[in-house]
Amino acid sequence: MTEQGSRRRLAAILALDMVGYSRLVGIDEPGTIAKHKQYLVQVIGPGVDRFNGRIVKHMGDGLLAEFSSAVDAVQCAVEVQNEINAREVVTADELRISYRIGLNLGDIVIDGDDIMGDGVNLAARIEPLAEPGGVSLSRKVFEEVQNKTSLTFEDTGEHDLKNIARPVRIFRVLVQGKPEQRQDRIAENAKSAVAVLPFANLSQDPEQQYFSDGLSEDIITLLSAWRSFPVVARNSSFAYRDRSQDIRRIAKELAARYVIEGSVRKSGNRVRVNAQLVDAMTGHHLWAHKYDGALDDIFEIQDEMTWQIVSAVEPHMEQAEFNKAATKRSVNLNAWDYYLRARMALHQLNPNDNAEARKLFEKAIALDPDYSDAYAGLSLTYQRDILYEVAEDRAAFEQLALQTARRAVALDDGSSYAHLALGGAYIWLNEHELSIAETRMAVQLNPSNVQARFALGNRLDIVGSAKEGMPLLESSLQLSPRDPHSHIYFVQLARAYINARKYERARDCLTESIRRKPDHPHTYHMLAICLGHIGDHEQARQAARRCDELHPGFIAKRARWNIYVDPAANAHLTEGLRKAGLVD
């Protein structure tokens, strides 16, 4: 090329590339190519246009774009990643598509419709340093935009880049909803997630399963107090009970670096616990230990195990953090035993087990009137009966739920579990501000509490704060990828998408919900609303028929559903059914 016919100018360059393209094409070539084209047409291209950019050229599974403004380039990159990450949250891990984006601000040479030069080369070198679903940028871009957007940036230090003479300081944008990196590798940093698999019950009595499950859950609760690393949600890790699989495969599926597994043998007043911590990235055992003792030593065993685990995962932890993590457990072993049984029944999510859980929580409280967690669990049983529509006296149950949750918080104001229960009690009384405040506190106390995160997202959507709530709903599914109850989460996320007029995303969520649990009537009710808005009226009517097969009268009962604070949002749900000819 000669200088004649070319010119120079300063520009912001965006380089985008798909992660793991060859692997994805090997699994599903037509599907991968079709979805990439779909994102180009529906998300990436319109995003570049909206921020006054220009796609210079497509390069297989990637592209190069230029902008006259660095602020526009960064905002475009973040918006594109947020949109794609949100769409891909419902995609199976092995088929999930994500992109990396690199940005640079520099001098470029323009030759016809093409661009080249050091500014372009540096953007291309920065792009591989971005995380899947993320955005990385040069120092020049950061200095240009840092005080002009509300985005959050992280300095990743200086990097030596191929064919670039000097080290380049790279910054990362903290993108919402960025998918876990399950596809390519187990995260290689010291703050990767920890998964606690359900401990095997080696007791002679299979009825002792509740005890080994309870011990595992208590360890999850204790570990969750550390904000320096995430802990995989209980329901996801418990999906691997009685399944003999390779630890590294489990870790990959859960996006966890560390896996804790073990066994429990309880006989009379004696207990033996074997536990081991595995670094799933290397397959090496970091430690393994056997604990023998009297049953009344069980809390000391739990604390010692937790200390050992956290010491291996987060070596710079402080004793104060450990002391803060020690929950206010009952000192009465019989009360704790009833609590473990109740918690196991509560996880079954049906009216009969819920009634049994209430009896057991009440027995625990009778033995220990200051047992915060038992009061929180008792409150949840009243809330579940209202949800299941089996409460003998709804108004009375609403008050009982509130009273017991308040008691739980009064006994332990630092309990995420107690604040979550109180937030739930307020929602049934339509005290939305109080509900959100309590649920927000539950998330702050334990960021790994997926139920609290999802409840907060759901409640924010209900009051009209979907912009804050939606990322919480989406990220909750990522934090608990193997939750057997995730079909419920997908339905609530779909309702939020319908409220936001994002019907195609809602349909994707509902399709995934049906795949996970084909007999959940709520899914088909929401699908009928969604398809009514899309215009697929015959499919909407089929969904409604399936809903009424599973739960006769459900559609008629929810025809005018008043779940939102804004009457217009409720009318919008009814309008979907009306469009399909399902209501007048």
Q: What is the pLDDT of residues 155-179, one digit of tens each?
A: 888 888 777 778 889 999 876 545 4
CATH of the domain at 96: 3.30.70.1230
Q: Looking at the domain assignment, is residue 231 inside a domain? A: yes
> How far, in Å, CA of 416 to CA of 120, rounded?
49
Q: Tell me: do 289 and 339 sit in the same domain.
A: no
Which of 333-347, 394-408, 419-433, 451-465 shows the lowest per-residue confidence on average (mean pLDDT)?
333-347
Give residue 122's Cα distance to chain centre. 34
Q: Are 474 and 506 in contact (CB under 8 A)?
A: no
Assess whether pLDDT exceeds 70 at residue 220: yes
pLDDT given at position 430: 92
User: Nearest Cα to 233, choosing from 244, 224, 225?
Assistant: 224
Domain span at residue 366 reads 329-446
Q: Tell me: do 68 and 163 sit in the same domain.
A: yes
Q: Tell me: do 563 and 518 sit in the same domain.
A: yes
Q: Looking at the domain assignment, is residue 460 inside a domain? A: no
Which of 247-261, 418-432, 518-532 shows the lowest per-residue confidence on average (mean pLDDT)?
247-261
Q: Looking at the domain assignment, is residue 432 inside a domain? A: yes
Q: Are 51 and 73 in contact (CB under 8 A)?
A: yes
Averaged pLDDT, 78-95: 77
> How far, in Å, CA of 442 to CA of 457, rounded?
12
Q: Tell me: do 316 and 333 sit in the same domain.
A: no
Q: Rounded to whole angstroms, what are the CA distances from 544 to 352, 549, 583?
A: 27, 9, 11
pLDDT given at position 307: 62
Q: How many CB atoms lie within 10 A of CB 296?
A: 11
pLDDT band at 328 (very low <50, low <70, confident <90, very high): low
Averaged pLDDT, 33-54: 90
Q: Rounded to whole angstroms, what are the CA distances from 494 to 18, 489, 574?
A: 27, 8, 15
Amino acid at 424: G
Tell which of 173, 208, 233 closes a domain.
173
Which of 65-79, 113-127, 212-226, 371-385 shows the lowest per-residue confidence on average (mean pLDDT)?
212-226
Q: What share of the chain is helix, strand, coil (3-state, %, to 5)?
A: 55, 15, 30
Assess whether pLDDT exceeds 90 at residue 214: no
Tell which of 325, 358, 378 closes a domain.
325
Q: Looking at the domain assignment, is residue 385 inside a domain? A: yes
Amino acid at 8: R
Q: Tell me: do 169 and 39 sit in the same domain.
A: yes
DSSP 3-state of 407: helix
Assess whether pLDDT exceeds 80 at residue 291: no
Q: Are 494 and 470 in contact (CB under 8 A)?
A: no
Assess whether pLDDT exceeds 60 at residue 216: yes
The per-residue DSSP string of 426-457 comes to HHHTT-HHHHHHHHHHHHHH-TT-HHHHHHHH
Q: What is the pLDDT of residues 242-278, one digit of tens each?
A: 665 677 777 777 777 778 888 888 777 788 888 787 7
> How far, in Å, CA of 493 to CA of 505, rounded?
9
Q: How many domains, the chain?
A: 4
> How far, in Å, CA of 322 to CA of 316, rounded?
12
Residue 410 in tokens: 């009064």
> How far, in Å, CA of 227 to CA of 219, rounded?
15
Mean pLDDT score of the chain: 82
Handedness of CA 28, 30, 36, 39 (dihedral sign): negative
pLDDT band at 282 (very low <50, low <70, confident <90, very high): low
Per-residue DSSP letter, 348: T
> Is the model more confident about 244 or about 63?
63
Q: Tell me: do 218 and 128 sit in the same domain.
A: no
Assess whether pLDDT exceeds 60 at residue 417: yes
Q: Are strands 99-111 and 135-138 parallel, antiparallel or unpaired?
A: parallel
Tell which of 295, 325, 355 closes a domain.
325
Q: Are 347 and 386 in contact (CB under 8 A)?
A: no
Q: Tell me: do 82 and 145 sit in the same domain.
A: yes
User: Nearest Cα to 461, choosing from 558, 564, 561?
Assistant: 564
> How far, in Å, CA of 72 to CA of 85, rounded?
20
Residue 508 in tokens: 């994707």
Q: Looking at the domain assignment, is residue 523 inside a domain? A: yes
Q: What is the pLDDT of residues 462-520, one digit of tens each?
A: 999 888 888 888 877 766 666 777 888 899 999 999 999 999 989 988 988 888 888 99
User: Nearest Cα to 499, choosing from 536, 529, 522?
Assistant: 529
Q: Tell me: do 10 and 138 sit in the same domain.
A: yes
In the chain, the percentage of residues whose pLDDT exceeds 70 is 84
Q: Looking at the domain assignment, is residue 435 inside a domain? A: yes
Q: Tell me: do 265 and 335 sit in the same domain.
A: no
Q: Are strands 270-279 and 135-138 parallel, antiparallel or unpaired?
A: unpaired
Q: What is the pLDDT of residues 138-156, one digit of tens each?
A: 999 999 998 888 788 888 8
Q: What angle do CA 18, 19, 20 make, to 5 degrees?
A: 115
Which of 182-196, 280-294, 370-384, 491-505 shows the lowest per-residue confidence on average (mean pLDDT)?
182-196
Residue 441 in tokens: 């506190």
User: Nearest Cα to 197, choosing from 258, 154, 252, 148?
Assistant: 258
Q: Are strands 114-116 and 153-159 parallel, antiparallel or unpaired?
A: unpaired
Give residue 76's Cα distance to chain centre. 24
Provide the b/e sequence for 10-31 (b: ≥16 CB within 10 Å).
ebbbbbbbbbbbeebbeeeeee
Q: Tell me: do 165 and 19 sit in the same domain.
A: yes
Q: What is the pLDDT of residues 298-314, one digit of tens each?
A: 777 766 666 666 555 55
DSSP 3-state of 287: strand
Q: What is the pLDDT of residues 346-377, one digit of tens each?
A: 888 889 999 999 999 999 999 999 999 899 99
pLDDT band at 191 (very low <50, low <70, confident <90, very high): very low
Q: Rounded to whole angstroms, what are the CA distances from 81 to 134, 145, 153, 174?
A: 7, 18, 15, 11
The pTM of this model reads: 0.56
Q: Looking at the domain assignment, is residue 371 inside a domain? A: yes
Q: Looking at the domain assignment, is residue 453 inside a domain? A: no
CATH of the domain at 299: 3.40.50.10070
Q: Tell me: do 15 and 163 sit in the same domain.
A: yes
CATH of the domain at 361: 1.25.40.10
Q: Tell me: do 22 and 164 sit in the same domain.
A: yes
Instruction: List all residues 6 or more positions away from 445 whose beta carbon is below 8 Å from its beta carbon.
Output: 414, 415, 416, 419
